[in-house]
């Protein structure tokens, strides 16, 4: 059976629009908390640390790059890193300590109390994300998360938690990059860098 392209596109766009509309209310308060915490971190010499698995790993490095290079206009860099990009660390930790600690070990080495740590997990249940958030919390860093599916195990751990009201991985990922882009833009504006 051939795909009816118009019907498929309409269905995908409608699904996206429904989640987008529902998300507006669910993230407004935690987004403000994340923005204030990020501004405080940057003002006190800290950084923003992103990490995730798979597509969320790509989002983590994308968002860290938007901050360290630029989002809209040329400006001074905003300190940010992704724990998802160093293949030597990822493979050594995975091999020697286990994949569950692939981010927690990096948190031990790199995260300070002044930092904001953002774990990205569409389900909210990824063991390596949860472990890293717990480790960052024990170090006194602000522990934040982007999730979906009700928040999973990140619920009650990440504060703020920006939870996309959807069970569909693709829709959650689409909203995560939107939330991340909004954070980048808001930081630039608040820091008067654009």
The predicted pLDDT at position 74 comes to 85
134-144 pLDDT tens trace: 999 999 999 99
Q: What is the pTM of this model?
A: 0.95
User: What are the residue ranges spanned by the domains of the chain?
Assistant: 25-190
Ranges assigned E (strand) in the chain = 48-52, 80-82, 116-120, 142-148, 161-164
Tell the CATH topology of 25-190.
Answer: Rossmann fold (3.40.50)
Q: Which residues does residue 144 pair with via DSSP β-bridges, in sequence order?
A: 118
- Torsions phi, psi for 49 (to 5 deg): -115, 120
20-71 pLDDT tens trace: 999 988 999 999 999 999 999 999 999 999 999 999 999 999 999 999 999 9
- Torsions phi, psi for 138 (to 5 deg): -65, -25
The predicted pLDDT at position 192 comes to 75
Mean of the per-residue pLDDT values of the chain? 96
Helix (H, G, I), strand (E, B) or coil at 50: strand
1 falls in which pLDDT band (50, 70, 90)? Answer: low
């Amino acid at each position: 059976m051939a795909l009816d392209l118009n019907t498929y596109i309409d269905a995908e766009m409608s699904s996206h629009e429904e989640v987008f509309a529902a998300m507006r209310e669910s993230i407004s308060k935690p987004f403000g908390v994340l923005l204030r915490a990020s501004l405080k971190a940057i003002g006190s010499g800290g950084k923003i640390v992103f990490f995730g698995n798979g597509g969320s790993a790509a989002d983590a490095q994308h968002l860290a790059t938007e901050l360290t290079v630029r989002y809209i206009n040329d400006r001074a860099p905003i300190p940010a890193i992704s724990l998802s990009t160093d293949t030597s660390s990822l493979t050594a930790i995975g091999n020697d300590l286990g994949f569950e600690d692939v981010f927690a070990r990096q948190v031990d080495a790199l995260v300070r109390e002044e930092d904001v740590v953002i774990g990205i997990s569409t389900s909210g249940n990824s063991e390596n994300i949860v472990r890293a958030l717990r480790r960052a919390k024990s170090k006194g860093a602000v522990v934040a998360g982007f999730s979906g599916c009700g928040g999973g195990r990140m619920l009650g751990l990440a504060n703020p938690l920006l939870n996309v009201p959807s069970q569909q991985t693709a829709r959650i990922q689409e909203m995560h990059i939107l939330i991340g882009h909004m954070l980048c833009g808001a930081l630039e504006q608040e820091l008067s860098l654009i």
